[in-house]
Structure 1
Amino acid sequence: MFKILSKFTRKSLSEPDDALLSLFGAVPTVSGVTVTAASALRVPAVASAVRLISEAVADLDVLVKRVGTDGAETEEKSHPLLGILRGEANDWTDGFTFIRDLMIDALTRDEGGLAYVNRVNGRVVEVIRYAPGAISVDYDPLTLEPTYRLQGAPIPSQNVVHLRSPFGRAPLSLAREAIALATVLERHGSKLFGNGARPSGLLKFPKGMGEEAVKRAREGWRQTHENGDTGRTAILYDDADFVPLTFNSVDAQYLELRTFQIVEIARAFRVPPSMIYELSRATWSNAEQMNLEFLTYCLDPWIKAMEGALRRALFMADERAKYAIRFDRDDLTRADLATRSMAINSLIASRVLNPNEGREWLGLDPYEGGDEYANPNTGSSQPNEASPIKSDEGEDGTE
């Protein structure tokens, strides 16, 4: 019996294994760097990608729409939830900050973005994003149905906003190795230049020098050229020669590696490298296409996941068939004013839109008679009701 028990090892915080480290979000990497959510965000490329996605989603206008029996959606401009999603999620958090931080949690933490919906008599009064770890989630091993606890106390799943990441792992977690390598490269560069590990040049003395002479020459050179007073003329003696050091091919590969890690991190978060300011391959012609790909392949899936998470938690089961939460994507696809004007004019001329619908795209109020579908360029208007034709003749035909 003793031999069987001796095969088991006890785990403690003094000697944590990988499983215990992962529990606290600190998983060691091959490079030896431990990557956590906090340390990863100190890598500029990671912080830029997380801010790009989270702020882009939070910046969109949130809409509450009523879903008809035919599937058509109409906007509910006075729904009570708009005060929470657009105004204040709670007494200390505005709607923009709430959605942004929920998105950040989903991008950086494997458990996803979690928030508690506080209801009073069935009515949503506030939504609270607690500190990471306050709300825990467990899954049924067979059905994967989640159960939630708030500081250890069970809470109904109906009252939890849960924004999940693909694969059940956050993009930051899946990119730990790439982030660790970027950290190693940055540390190497900091030590190389910050501590003067790489000298700017060499002093060569063909005749050789004694220990005391070397100390005097070194002290004199430092006083003249390394005290912050640059631009002085170098004076050499005893046939000394100064040989400057320049970057070689290995140094160039170091710079290429740093650039590649930025692209690798951008790939992990599915954002175009140009949008996190890696502009080596960006041109005016492909920047617009990359912005469109960012919306289609990166942002839109997150937006749909956010819409579904908010709809499930903010509406009761009998309300979900009647209401939906939508993010207005027009701001993301909005072109410059000249391009938008040409597109709206073309749609009105082809009778796809009426003038009032075009004005709504521009944020303008409708005007009377603007609901008519007509081509203003040809004057081929077909009024709904025929207007009486006035003439100078009387009813009997006499003038």
Structure 2
Amino acid sequence: MKLWPFTRKVQPTEQKSLASPDQAVLAIFGLTEATSTGIVVSQADAMQVPAVANAVQLISEAVASLDVYVKRIEGETEIDVPDHPVLDLLRNESNDWTSGFEMIRQIVRDALMDDRGGLAWINRPNDRPQEIIRYRRSVLTFDLDLETGERKYRVGNRPVPARDVIHLLPPLERAPLSLAREAIGIAVALDRHAAKLFGRGARPSGALMIPKGMGEEAIKAARAAWRVAHEGEDQGRTAFLFDGMTFEPFTFASTDAQFLENRKFQIQEIGRAFNIPSPMLGDLERATWSNSEQKGREFLSYTLEPWLRGLEGALRRALFSDEERQNHVIRFDRDDLTRADLQTRATTISSLISSQVINPNESRAWIGLPPREGGDEFLNPHISETPAKPSSRSEEGQPTDEDDNATE
């Protein structure tokens, strides 16, 4: 019986079952499903693939290396707030054992590798954030409302408010590592095959053709003698055959001849999953001086920018109070990733000052220098008149002793 409005509808939440576990449950126990290659690719296995480790490290450390600021919104402008207490948690130490750089890097790393995203809890005594703590996955958890998408967080068995949790969600509701699991599985299979190929001779170079009539013991002796003389460190020596034996070399099949191409293609596939240009993962086959800078801009615009926007929103929601969220934002400085060489930067800054787009003090702040007196004026230094130097003549117009000394 429903006694509206005194009854409240209970929203269904997502339930996890060990009878039919999904990726989230398997990840808790460090397990995962096998890929189509038959290889089980866990997070630890995936990080042993150099392209995957490079992609995760590249994105997480690039985000964590950027300078972070707290700004106050006034009209259409954002004013820097250098003394906000939140900055100390993000720039210096998030807690007694973790720096701000390490905390941001770990949150982004978790979002790249885990479908649940990057999670951290805010310790907020007296309603002021004092430290940021990243718990283990089994400690800081959440239940998902299937109708509204609301997330209800718990630290252990204790419910915690959503505003006390930094939660960076991965795109497409799946982490890039999970989306690339099949491609990573193929890369692992190629790595294992290469290890066997060069380590234990997985692909034989040929076959010994033995005529009829040789007994089993003679065949074993011939095989052992061949391995001693022509395999391992002794390979490449001249072969001596006896009793009518012949050696027939094997030819490479098309897939063997393209083994290196297959490995390069997997680097590109993993790069697509993480949305990283392949030259930034070490594939420099098509990299040139002209397109390297363009790839760097693409990395900022298409790879880092979505992660930066998501992290700025997650930090703002969790670190600011209800009043501060109305007019405070967190911004990462993108200029560090767009800096060109010194000559190009000097030419650009000079052009911006000359066209009065920025003033000298703004340009000095751009390159990390303190402001100077008179630098807030918008002037073109190439056409602006320089104030005349005060004359040292007396009121009667006669030269002073200083002028006489200068003449002498």
TM-score (norm 2): 0.84
Moved more, 330-339 or 281-290: 281-290
Letter in 2 for 1:27: E
* 1:43 and 2:49 correspond: yes
Q: Which residue among 380, 387, 390 is the counterpart of 2:384?
A: 380
Q: Which residue among 64, 70, 74 is the counterpart of 1:64?
A: 70
Letter in 2 for 1:23: V
TM-aligned CA distance change 1:315 to 1:228, over 3 Å: same
* 1:321 and 2:323 correspond: no
| SS at structure 2 position matched to 1:124 | coil
The separation in 2 between residues aligned to 1:242 and 1:79, in whole angstroms, is 78
Q: Which residue among 56, 80, 83 is the counterpart of 2:85?
A: 80
Tell me the residue number matched to 2:129. Answer: 124
- Whether contact under 8 Å (1:374, 1:381) holds in the other structure is no
1:126-155: CA deviation from partner (whole Å, max 9, x where unpaired): 000111232112233332222111112100
The separation in 1 between residues aligned to 2:210 and 2:25, in whole angstroms, is 59
Tell me the residue number matched to 2:25. Answer: 23
Q: Superposition pairs for residues 1-399 of structure 1, below 5 Å?
A: 16-17=19-20, 19-20=21-22, 22-25=24-27, 26-68=32-74, 70-203=75-208, 210-226=215-231, 228-229=233-234, 232-236=237-241, 244-245=249-250, 247-376=252-381, 378-381=382-385, 394=395
Compute the RMSD of aligned alpha carbons: 2.8
1:199-235: CA deviation from partner (whole Å, max 9, x where unpaired): 2344456798554444444333333343525675555
TM-aligned CA distance change 1:142 to 1:206, over 3 Å: closer
Letter in 2 for 1:272: P
| SS at structure 1 position matched to 2:201 | coil
| SS at structure 1 position matched to 2:111 | helix
Letter in 1 for 2:62: A
Aligned-residue offset at 1:282: 2.0
Where has structure 1 moved over 6 Å in runs of 4 or more? 205-208
Unaligned runs of 5+ in 1: 1-10
| SS at structure 1 position matched to 2:324 | coil
Moved more, 230-239 or 37-46: 230-239
The separation in 1 between residues aligned to 2:205 and 2:276, in whole angstroms, is 38
The separation in 2 between residues aligned to 1:53 and 1:372, in whole angstroms, is 39
TM-aligned CA distance change 1:35 to 1:216, over 3 Å: closer
| SS at structure 2 position matched to 1:271 | coil
Moved more, 45-54 or 364-373: 364-373
| SS at structure 1 position matched to 2:273 | helix
Letter in 2 for 1:379: I
Aligned-residue offset at 1:83: 1.5
The separation in 1 between residues aligned to 2:23 and 2:117, in whole angstroms, is 18
TM-aligned CA distance change 1:247 to 1:375, over 3 Å: farther
1:234-264: CA deviation from partner (whole Å, max 9, x where unpaired): 5555676655555432213333332222211
The separation in 2 between residues aligned to 1:28 and 1:229, in whole angstroms, is 39
Aligned-residue offset at 1:288: 1.5
The separation in 1 between residues aligned to 2:398 and 2:105, in whole angstroms, is 75
Letter in 2 for 1:380: S
Tell me the residue number matched to 1:5. Answer: none
Aligned-residue offset at 1:174: 2.0
TM-aligned CA distance change 1:363 to 1:115, over 3 Å: same
Q: Percent identity of the aligned residues?
A: 55
Moved more, 352-361 or 220-229: 220-229
TM-aligned CA distance change 1:307 to 1:388, over 3 Å: same
TM-aligned CA distance change 1:168 to 1:20, over 3 Å: closer
1:23-47: CA deviation from partner (whole Å, max 9, x where unpaired): 2232333333333322222222211
Letter in 2 for 1:52: L
| SS at structure 2 position matched to 1:114 | strand
TM-score (norm 1): 0.85
Unaligned runs of 5+ in 2: 1-15, 400-408
